[in-house]
Structure 1
Amino acid sequence: MNKQMHTKTFKIFTLGCKVNQWESAFFRTALEDMGWEEAREDPCGLAIVNTCIVTQKASHQSRQAIRRFIRENPGALVVAAGCYAQVYPEELGEIEGLDMIIGNTLKYALPELVSMRGPRDRPQLFVKPFAGRVPLEPLEVKNFAERTRAYLKVQDGCETFCSYCIVPRARGPYRSLELDHVLWSLEGLADQGFKEVVLTGIHLGKYGVDLHQETDLAGLLAEIGKRQFPLRIRLSSLEPGEINDAIIEMVASEPWLCRHFHVPLQSGDARVLKAMGRTYSPEDYRSLILKIREKVPLAAIGADVMVGFPFEGEKEFQNTLKLAKSLPVSYLHVFPYSPRKGTPAEKLGNPIPPDVVKQRARCMRDLGLRKRADFWNLCVGIEFEVLVEKWEEEHPPVVQGLTDNYLSVRFPSHCNPGEMTRLLLRKEYLDVEEAENTFHP
């Protein structure tokens, strides 16, 4: 495997969550600062796959992407980074043609590590254990794949250890970005012209638990509000027990804070929730969603729903379906249970037949589409602020944009991508194709 990089060009393929998207943007920024250039179509000298292992499908897609990069970029230095590399490096080490495996603990050294690469017969391994609750380092990120919206990772790590989830092993303990560094990063993104920033984290609601100064997510938002940045803030997924009255009241009253909550449900059955290691009841979840809808009537409320978890019989599934039907949620992100090696749920046995899982997923997704249509109808005839994201057609001019409450719209406009505009919502403005592919921020 004696490869030499013949050009200082790179490609990055990213799987998984918005935290991964942010980290790939860091790779892009750091490499360009070191004189690298991102390749578009031609083969490159450096190919990076930022991997995901949250499900078996994500793991499979990660391996596929690595093999495709090896095949399409002969002679390139091929790197597998991220969660798969952190937890199962030995599996990746079996892929012929892979040069480097870099786990999450050393991911931020990737730009320097690839420059030091020498000839090897086996993939070079850069993986080490997590060092504990160490605050995140501030990193400058300038180059996002999306030119109009930016992401800012303010938190990393998870210590919840749900029985089905491999993420705590991949991401380590809670770590937060110091308040001053968050504000510095937001100022930099505003100076670059971004009009929306998504605050993201592996367990965003735990922001601040590891910091010396007493703060939490609500406190962070209050400090952001004082700065009056010329941009709007969107929150990524928050656990049910971490959305308090202060956060709801801020979303209801502050125009710079997007009216959007993504709140994982997973199951609407108490027995299944307990087996999953979730810390709330169906009644707790119902009360929270109804409170959000009461306080923020036009908020988008999304929910994750898992189907096919061990012991989810027909009764348990119907309990979930009944709860989801009864709630004023705006969309559902539905996914089948995927056993992950090394998790407690892997040992539960009692697997649900695949055809039953598919049928349940189809049923729940159909409900999600109806919920989305109901929410759209609720918003028709109301004026919203829209961030224009891209041109769809030039003659006549049609653009695609996103409202603060997470509606993807297509409408006639002369605005350029990155600009804000006011839009009186009409039914024909719904971007159906984009809406069906949208899950959470």
Structure 2
Amino acid sequence: MKKFIIKTLGCKVNQCESEAIRNALVESGRGIASGDEGGADVVIVNTCSVTRKAAMQSRQAVRQAIRANPDARIVVTGCHAQTAAAEMAAIDGVDLIVGNRDKHMIPRRILSQLPEHADGAVPTECSDTDRPGTNRIDQFEMLPAMATGSRTRPFLKIQDGCDAYCTYCIVPHARGRSRSLPMDQVLKQIEQLGRLGYREVVLTGIHIGCYGHDLTPATGLIELLCLIREAGSIDRVRVSSIEPAELSDAIIDLACSGQDQSGRLCPHFHIPLQSGDDGILKRMHRPYSRDDFKARVQRIIGRLPDAAIGVDTLIGFPGETDAAFEHTYDLIRSLPVAYLHVFPFSAREGTPAFTFKDQVPAPVVKKRCARMRRLGAKKRQEFYARHVGKAVTVLVEATRDRISGCLKGFSDNYIPVLFDGSDDLANTFQPVEIKDISADGVPAGVVFDRTTDG
């Protein structure tokens, strides 16, 4: 049996796409090679370019794959393949470069057309994604979301691309225009996941709040979420990162209602802030103010006091003074957020911010990031502590915690919980009372009524 390995870097969208490619290859009769021990006939590296570090890690992953699998053919795809195709093709041992436009064709290409080891020019398929007059990506590339392995909450990509063009972001150049999976196909895939026994699905995309704007007739995310609830094909739905201006009152209200229904929306919202300083937000080309963000968080907590709110921050953007950073820090400190993702600014060639002159020195950025991460850890522990003594509904995962041996799972408001129980609880909903927080900061609980499932 021919075997393959897929290595994935970056976001949930990349993970979703890699999973779909893997499933298509398995269905066609390919086997999955284990780890980095060699034995693969094909290695696919799905790259990321969102930061300079991600680009560097992508190049490292390609070189590691070549060293570990000297006889395999190496296929490089993803955002760094799209934005730096020549750089990736120059790595000795790469056999094929495939951009995001043609990523969905990789299974068929590997099976029927992949050339022998490249000798000279490396075949490259990376159509321009966004420049007028070019063959840009305008259609949603179909990658079915059939989960495999031990994943309890499969990702379903419903949207790709972005039209926002924030001044720091390379993603529109790597992913192209915003485009959506038609509603009937979303519902069909969720129905298929439900038939396979999955209880929760995570809807993901690059700019998911723009879902449906490109469809005919135009629609929106709230309409899709309502249809998913009406269909009742899956028990729980979780939405990945969503912009503050696009997290409407209607979406918040939907998460408040019907918590005993199938298709219920989890009270968990991951909202990019990036900066809490209005001047920096304008330089970033972000369409909201710090007061807008604060009002949105307060609206969520007013309706859903136990909701998990995750926040992205981008630290060290050009022109970020000490005062501007303090505006961000003070805003986060004042809000009941559950956790932070802290990113240092990374100048990406091809974006306006790459040319900005007032760059923040690296040591200053590092110090600010460390301080913000400490705040994030404090916020996370405070969020967990607020739930001690409360009952949460946990979707039990198929694999146990490696350290404690306990069952594990996530509540609807994204609290990871460890608890004792038998293996037959896997992929069921269990009511768990959170008793305490372990020494390493993980909530621990007890199942108090095993007769409930659903």
- Which TM-score applies when normalising by structure 2? 0.91
Cα deviation per residue 1:202-221 (whole Å; 9 max; x = unaligned)? 00000000000232000000
Distance, in Å, in 2 between the alignment partners of 1:395 and 1:78 is 35
Cα shift at 1:135 = 4.4
What is residue 318 of structure 1 aligned with on the other side? 326
Q: Please state if 1:423 is matched with 2:432.
A: yes
Distance in structure 2 (CA, Å) of the matches to 1:245 and 1:212: 24
Structure 2 distance, partners of 1:434, 1:135, is 43
Deviations 1:316-352 (A, max 9, x none): 1111111111111111101100000110000002221
Once the 2 structures are TM-superposed, how far is the Cα of residue 147 of structure 1 from its aligned partner? Answer: 2.2
1:103 paired with 2:102, answer no
Q: Measured at CA, do residues 393 and 355 of structure 1 come closer, stay the same or move farther in structure 2, by a change above 3 Å?
A: closer
Q: Determine if the alignment matches structure 1 residue 160 to structure 2 residue 154.
A: no
CA distance in 2: counterparts of 1:9 and 1:166, whole angstroms: 33
Q: CA deviation at 1:133?
A: 7.0
Select the residue among 204, 210, 220 that pairs with 2:208. Answer: 204
Determine the C-alpha separation between the residues in 2 that align with 1:232 and 1:88.
38
CA distance in 2, matches of 1:429, 1:226: 39
- 1:176 has 2:184 as partner: no
3-state SS, counterpart of residue 423 of structure 1? strand
Q: Which residue of 1 aligns with 2:367?
A: 359
2:294, 2:219 → 1: CA distance?
28
1:137-185 Cα shifts (integer Å, max 9, x gaps): 5443324454211000000110100000000001111110111100000
Residues 254 and 265, structure 2, Cα contact 8 Å, conserved in 1: yes
For the 8 Å contact 1:408–1:430, the answer to whether it is kept is: no
Aligned residue number for residue 36 of structure 1:
30
Q: Distance in 2 between matches of 1:428 and 1:213?
A: 49
Partner of 1:10: 4
Instruction: Please list, as runs of the form range in 1=range in 2, the aligned pairs for 1:11-26 lying within 5 A after superposition.
Output: 11-26=5-20
Q: How far off is 1:16 after superposition?
A: 0.6
Opposite residue 234 of structure 1, the aligned amino acid is: R
Aligned to 1:304: 312
Question: Which of the residues 149, 152, 161 maps onto 1:148?
Answer: 152
- Asked if the contact 1:397–1:413 (Cα under 8 Å) also holds between the matched residues in 2, the reply is no
Contact 1:25 1:145 in 2 (8 A): no
Query: Please, what is the CA RMSD of the aligned residues?
Result: 2.0
Task: Give the Cα–Cα distance (whole angstroms) in 1 for the partners of residues 358 and 170 of structure 2.
Answer: 20
Question: For the residues of structure 2 that align with 1:341 and 1:170, how far apart are their CA atoms?
Answer: 12
Give the Cα separation in 1 of the matches to 2:366 and 2:142.
43
1:132 Cα deviation from its structure 2 partner: 5.5
* Distance change >3 Å, CA 343–CA 397, structure 1 → 2: closer
Q: CA deviation at 1:35?
A: 1.3
Contact 2:200 2:235 in 1 (8 A): yes
Q: CA deviation at 1:231?
A: 2.2
The one of 58, 63, 66 equivalent to 2:62 is 66
Structure 2 letter corresponding to 1:257: L
Q: Aligned partners of 1:332 and 1:413: how far apart in 2?
A: 31
Decide which moves more: 201-210 or 137-146: 137-146
Q: CA 1:248/1:80 → structure 2, altered by over 3 Å: closer, same or farther?
A: same
Letter in 2 for 1:98: V
Superimposed CA distance per residue, residues 14-37 of structure 1 (whole angstroms, 9 cap, x where no aligned partner): 011111011001110111122111
State the match for 1:216 in structure 2: 220
RCO greater where, 1 or 2, for CA within 8 Å and sep 6 or more?
Answer: 1
In structure 2, the CA distance between the partners of 1:430 and 1:221, relative to structure 1 (3 Å rule), is farther
TM-score w.r.t. length of structure 1: 0.93
Structure 1's 431 and 209: CA in aligned 2 closer, same or farther, altered over 3 A?
A: farther
Counterpart of 2:115 in structure 1 is 118
Q: Which runs of 5+ in 2 are unaligned?
A: 130-134, 445-454
Asked if the contact 1:49/1:79 (under 8 Å) is kept, the reply is yes
SS at match of 2:26: helix
309-318 or 376-385, which moves further after superposition?
Answer: 376-385
**Shift in CA distance, 146/349, structure 1 to aligned 2, threshold 3 Å:** farther
Do the aligned residues in 2 keep the contact of 1:174 with 1:206 (CA within 8 Å)?
A: yes
- Point out where structure 1 has 5 or more consecutive residues left out of the alignment: 1-6, 436-441
